Amino acid sequence: MGEPGHPDGCSRVVGHGAVLTRGAPGRYARAMFPDRRAARLLLGVLAVVAAVHLLTQLIGSSGLADATQVLLMPLLAGVLWWQAPAPRGRLVSLTLVALGFSWLGDTAPKLADGDPAFLLMVGFFLLAQIAYIVAFLPYRRRSVLHVNRPWLAAYVAVVAALVAACVGGAADMLVPVLVYGACLGTMAVLSTGLNPFAAAGGAIFLVSDGLIALDAFVPGFGLPAQGFWVMATYVGAQVLLVAGVLRERTDADASPMTTDAARAR
């Protein structure tokens, strides 16, 4: 599905079935580097903190890993906040809400142990996924729900396979696992409606949470450096989702909007 063309007759990027405009690759590359000073500074700090955190995951320094983990989402939210000045609109505001719930999902479980800690994590990340779903819903007509539909079957197959693998070991956690899996898959599908950045972020988020579920519920599953891979994919996914949101905001400011995009803002 396309959108109205630019005045020069080129098509703009739209969702997972995107057609790149002339010069679009350069614009997409620049989307990862904010042009506002405060946002650039926070992105640099985020890169350093993320690198330290991933290193601590590899060397097993749990205290430093915990301390750096709780800084990740506030720093990323700061990048989004400063790079997208007011009026921020619906998409940016809901993404900030999702990052806030993600921070709670990173932080609250450290205050509990065992099943309560796991449920706190799942609960807050479920709220984060719902916030992302509501944020991305206006772009659904540009997603794999309507464009390049064979990709939809791939998303469904991945979520179904993940749930099937975890059902046997989920026991009392089965209902939360099913609900969270459905919301995670929905978020990943809807993220394809924004642009390739957001689509990649949604897919990688699915991988990251899939690794957590397999480790928790599948006996014998043991990925070397599990914590490193979970956090590397998690941080990468969130950064790509934010980049996708910023790219969509920039594109919407620079070109005519569909009704869906106008409502989203």
Tens digit of each residue's pLDDT, the chain (265 residues): 433 333 333 333 345 444 334 345 555 555 567 888 899 999 999 999 999 999 999 998 889 999 999 999 999 999 999 998 888 889 999 999 999 999 999 999 999 988 889 899 999 999 999 999 999 999 999 999 999 888 999 999 999 999 999 988 988 888 988 999 999 999 999 999 999 999 999 999 999 999 999 999 999 898 999 999 999 999 999 999 999 999 998 776 655 545 455 555 5
- HSE-up of residue 243 (Cα within 13 Å, Cβ side): 24
pLDDT score for 17: 42
Of 93, 94, 41, 103, the residue nearest 72 (C-alpha): 103
Look over the chain and give the mean of its residue pLDDT values, rounded to a whole number: 85
- What is the value of pTM for the model shown? 0.84
Q: Which helix (H) or strand (E) holds 211?
A: helix 196-217
The answer to whether 233 and 212 are in contact (CB under 8 A) is: no
pLDDT at 6: 34
DSSP one-letter code for 21: P
18-38: pLDDT as tens digits? 433 434 555 555 556 788 889
Check residue 231 and give its pLDDT.
97
**What phi and psi, each to the nearest 5 degrees, are found at residue 48?**
-65, -45
Q: Which of 240, 127, 233 is nearest to 192 (CA)?
A: 240
